[in-house]
Structure 1
Amino acid sequence: MPTSPLAPAETGASAADTRPSLTVLSGFWPAATYAVARTLLAADPSLLLIRHDLADVHRGSVHRVVRDGAGILEDERVALAHGCVSCTLREDVLPTLARLARAQPGRGLLLMLPEVVEPEAVAAACARCPVDGTPITELLRIDSYTTVVDIEHLLDGLASTDDLKSLGIQAADNDDRALADVVVRQIEYADTLVLWGESREGAYDSERLGVLLARIAPWAVQVRVDGDVVDARELTRRLRDTGRHRPETPAVLARGLEGHVLGVHEPQPDCGVVSVLFRARRPFHPDRLHDVLEDVNAEVLRSRGHLWLASQPETVIAWDFAGGGLSLGSLGQWLVAVPDDRWDDASTHRQLAATLDWDPYYGDRQQHLVFVGLDLDPARLRRMLGACLLTDAELADGEEVWRTYRDPFAGCFPPTTPDTRTKGDAPA
């Protein structure tokens, strides 16, 4: 099983930390995710498993079940003031975790998320929503964010063009997310990926999908599990008390801005999987970039990162492609466009990354994109993107002329502060 050299070493939990440990378990395929949860319960019957069913969240209630290895301890329907994932996390999930941590401090906690909930939403709630005035991290130790991937259905999920509403599984009335968006965000936020089962195409395809996951999330540890024969103790050793979670890790689209690895450059196919990292200092011409958006992602399963347009030189633009759809949005301002006395609005990591890679002319502005797919042509991809960069003659014209370019993206990225979204607000 391929394991990225970027994946963290097994650190384990500190023996001096007596807070109950929490493992957050997510995955778009509930049967596989619940199978992992049951296996962990079998190895440690004292483990407390917390699950929430969101089937009635639109009608203002959720179904909460807490159990251990001996059976069900709580089975309740909880009324919510507002029917959405954010209020579920704030009004029931976090208070339940806090109550269990206080009442039974010697027992580990396993939170199994509904299939449409992204782990980053939980991380954001833990960071911002205290329980009775107490931060949740004072009551428990978040050990790992683990995502379970059903190998048999992975490619279907990544390539799907369906949205949650069309499938009837949206998390709120205004939830416009695509299925593929949820799948990639669950994979990318995880520090640990459990590869459950085998591909129906055989061992080679299972290996290929492992490589694909290593390219999409090179920072995650992979744990392979045969769905037919599972060693519960070994799986527990690999998944619990690992100390892998790093709360300072930024949202995936802002990783490059914060000095973290955004992706790996592996242009030579490995089991057919190619990963292309595109970096450049020059800005994109807005019209030329707009003309190639469809072609540049034609063979891509996932692409992400940030860029800058000549016509909007102050704005960091997020690039987010999955499931056949590309989203562009604002990540705030480049620090080169911000007065020195406002640099403190950005995170320390952001300031450090910008300083270390500062260019006398461009400042911290640069293109930083990664493309992952099967049988990609890296040379063609780089040629297309390279042709969108400003030429020497265009560069010489300067910013005042750049701002006059025809811009199909005009008005799409309202001005924001430097650190907006760099900490990662997960959609709820």
Structure 2
Amino acid sequence: MSSSPQAPPHAVTVDADTRPSLTVLSGFWPAATLAVARTLLAADPSLLLVRHDLSGIRQGVVRRVVRCGVGIIEDEQVELRHGCASCTLREDVLPTLVRFTRSHPGQDLVLMLPEVVEPEAVAAACAHCLVDGAPITDLIRIDSYVTVLDAEHLLDGLASTDDLTTLGIHAADDDHRALADVVVRQIEYADTLVLWGQSRDGAFDTSRMAVLLQRMAPWATHLRVDDPVDAGTLTRQLRHTHRHRSGTPGTLARGLQGYTLGAHEPEPDCGVVSAVLRARRPFHPQRLHDVLEEVNAEVIRSRGHLWLASQPDTVVAWEFAGGGLTMGSLGHWLVSLPADRWEHVEDQRRLAAALEWDPYYGDRHQHLVFIGLDLDPVELHRALAGCLLTDAELADGEDTWRSYPDPFAGCFPLGAEELTDTDTDTDTEGAQRA
């Protein structure tokens, strides 16, 4: 029997892509994120670090600082556009990256995002915004989105009920995001997570934070880093990894497109439990509304999409963090769309629907993930299963379901046209936060 040819022991893999590599660092605790950035600079002095300082934003001042391992190359004030930090960054970051790629050919870059910026927004800008008439990916290869979490403060951030406005760190006057929402979105979009340092409560609690991150983002590569740091090792773990996949959907749309939404780990690991609910019958709207507080009482993070019997055309998004539940529309179920509009839906979603298509229900289903400490998965499942329609209710049919008393009526409007940008989990139409 012949065997497949193998490369000789001395062979090396050569990356034919000659574009400089970009690593994007995010994290809500800038001391930890900056420590990672400085470690990468220490290992490679030619690396270019681009960061924006928002400490003076309330006075209308944003500073752009670019440095390499031997010192600061540029330190300039950037005009605050439209009173909005996000607008300013969107209009300044990409041209800055392109400019330094051209002025420093062959040198890789690290972009360190301000603590309130979500990496998915940067990824969207890189995908859709042009610089000099061309996407930046013509010049730069986006290698990885890395989120750095401070082990000492992570749980406090995830459990926080504060919003950015209350804390005085909002990116614009209309920025009403919750702190916990920012942290979970930084975690869930990343392809690499770095847990930095140690919990103040000791080694067990640090391990618990590591398990919690594994449950929140089972699709990511996970690293634990503590002083002293080996700069060479960390560089090999974080740079030139090719981990970023530009086509991967946002968290809430993952399940619709057949990607992993969460891991079902009902047995506690360091007290962390992750429970997945999947079902092929709809929720009764009133019964679901009555248990919202109960099912999230011990939850740190829950997410996914669901099917309400009273609104059978609508994919309802669900995400909980920081004590608040947000629900909104993710558009139509495919079964409710005429065939000539399916061509406007992502190929991956159509494929995922076809694999689990039900002759009666079509692609409609429940897919929710709950993650928490000391969570009782049996009680959680019992509470949610009790909200599903009974056999007798199913037999009544869809016309009867639509007439159910619905506390969610009017909360999830569907536009005249199908929403096709279901790769984002931050702009659900008609979102309601409880």
- TM-score range relative to shorter protein: over 0.9
The alpha carbon displacement at 1:61 in A equals: 4.3
The alpha carbon displacement at 1:90 in A equals: 2.8
The alpha carbon displacement at 1:62 in A equals: 1.8
The alpha carbon displacement at 1:224 in A equals: 1.0
After superposition, where does 1:234-313 map in structure 2 within 5 Å? Answer: 234-313=233-312
SS of corresponding position for 1:309: coil
Quote the residue 2:412 is aligned against: 413
Quote the residue 2:364 is aligned against: 365
Quote the residue 1:192 is aligned against: 192
Quote the residue 2:20 is aligned against: 20
CA displacement, residues 275-320 of structure 1 (integer Å, 9 cap, x when unaligned): 0000001000000000000000000000000001000000000001
CA displacement, residues 14-63 of structure 1 (integer Å, 9 cap, x when unaligned): 61001110000000000000000000000000000000122344665421
Q: In the superposition, relative to structure 1, how do residues 14 and 333 fare at CA in structure 2: closer, same or farther (>3 Å)?
A: farther
Q: Is the 8 A contact 1:284 1:310 kept in 2?
A: yes
Distance 1:218 1:143 in 2: 19
Quote the residue 2:155 is aligned against: 155
Q: Is the 8 A contact 1:335 1:418 kept in 2?
A: no
Quote the residue 2:4 is aligned against: none
The alpha carbon displacement at 1:139 in A equals: 1.1
Quote the residue 2:32 is aligned against: 32
Structure 1 residue identity aligned to 2:174: N
Structure 2 residue identity aligned to 1:78: V
Distance 1:333 1:170 in 2: 33
Distance 1:203 1:32 in 2: 18
Distance 2:167 2:90 in 1: 26
CA displacement, residues 195-224 of structure 1 (integer Å, 9 cap, x when unaligned): 100111111111111111000000111111
Q: Is the 8 A contact 1:13 1:241 kept in 2?
A: no
The alpha carbon displacement at 1:84 in A equals: 1.9
Quote the residue 2:82 is aligned against: 82
Aligned length: 415
| TM-score (structure 2 length as normaliser) | 0.93
Quote the residue 2:111 is aligned against: 111
Distance 1:420 1:220 in 2: 26
Q: In the superposition, relative to structure 1, how do residues 372 and 237 fare at CA in structure 2: closer, same or farther (>3 Å)?
A: same
Distance 1:329 1:285 in 2: 17
The alpha carbon displacement at 1:192 in A equals: 0.4
Distance 1:376 1:86 in 2: 36
Q: Is the 8 A contact 1:300 1:372 kept in 2?
A: yes
Larger RCO (CA within 8 A; separation ≥ 6): 1
Quote the residue 2:178 is aligned against: 178
SS of corresponding position for 1:312: coil
SS of corresponding position for 2:312: strand
Distance 2:14 2:308 in 1: 46
Q: Is the 8 A contact 1:13 1:242 kept in 2?
A: no
CA displacement, residues 340-375 of structure 1 (integer Å, 9 cap, x when unaligned): 110111111111101111111110000000000011
SS of corresponding position for 2:77: strand
Q: Is the 8 A contact 1:80 1:88 kept in 2?
A: yes
Structure 1 residue identity aligned to 2:76: E
Q: In the superposition, relative to structure 1, how do residues 267 and 354 fare at CA in structure 2: closer, same or farther (>3 Å)?
A: same
Q: CA RMSD in A?
A: 1.4
After superposition, where does 1:47-126 map in structure 2 within 5 Å? Answer: 47-57=47-57, 60-126=60-126
Which stretch of structure 1 is more off in the superposition, 90-99 or 76-85? Answer: 76-85
Q: Is the 8 A contact 2:344 2:420 kept in 1?
A: no
Quote the residue 1:131 is aligned against: 131
Once the two structures are aligned, what percentage of the paired residues are identical? Answer: 73
Quote the residue 1:8 is aligned against: none
Q: In the superposition, relative to structure 1, how do residues 13 and 47 fare at CA in structure 2: closer, same or farther (>3 Å)?
A: farther
Distance 1:381 1:425 in 2: 24
Quote the residue 2:207 is aligned against: 207
Distance 2:58 2:18 in 1: 38
| TM-score (structure 1 length as normaliser) | 0.95
Q: Is the 8 A contact 1:306 1:367 kept in 2?
A: yes
Distance 1:112 1:419 in 2: 32
Quote the residue 1:44 is aligned against: 44
SS of corresponding position for 2:153: helix
SS of corresponding position for 2:369: strand
Distance 1:280 1:189 in 2: 26
The alpha carbon displacement at 1:136 in A equals: 1.0
SS of corresponding position for 2:307: strand
Quote the residue 1:5 is aligned against: none
CA displacement, residues 390-413 of structure 1 (integer Å, 9 cap, x when unaligned): 111111111111111110000111
Structure 2 residue identity aligned to 1:32: A
The alpha carbon displacement at 1:88 in A equals: 2.0
Quote the residue 2:9 is aligned against: none
Quote the residue 2:7 is aligned against: none
After superposition, where does 1:314-353 map in structure 2 within 5 Å? Answer: 314-353=313-352
SS of corresponding position for 1:261: coil
Deviation >3 Å, runs of 4+: 55-61, 416-421
Structure 2 residue identity aligned to 1:260: Y
Q: Is the 8 A contact 1:13 1:243 kept in 2?
A: no
The alpha carbon displacement at 1:86 in A equals: 3.5
Quote the residue 1:169 is aligned against: 169
Structure 2 residue identity aligned to 1:410: A
CA displacement, residues 84-140 of structure 1 (integer Å, 9 cap, x when unaligned): 244223310011011111222210100000000000000011111111111011110
Q: In the superposition, relative to structure 1, how do residues 303 and 13 fare at CA in structure 2: closer, same or farther (>3 Å)?
A: farther
Q: In the superposition, relative to structure 1, how do residues 268 and 401 fare at CA in structure 2: closer, same or farther (>3 Å)?
A: same
The alpha carbon displacement at 1:422 in A equals: 1.2
SS of corresponding position for 1:405: coil
Structure 2 residue identity aligned to 1:188: E
Distance 1:81 1:374 in 2: 42
The alpha carbon displacement at 1:420 in A equals: 4.2
Q: Is the 8 A contact 2:251 2:425 kept in 1?
A: no
SS of corresponding position for 1:174: coil
Quote the residue 2:8 is aligned against: none
The alpha carbon displacement at 1:237 in A equals: 0.5
Q: In the superposition, relative to structure 1, how do residues 189 and 277 fare at CA in structure 2: closer, same or farther (>3 Å)?
A: same
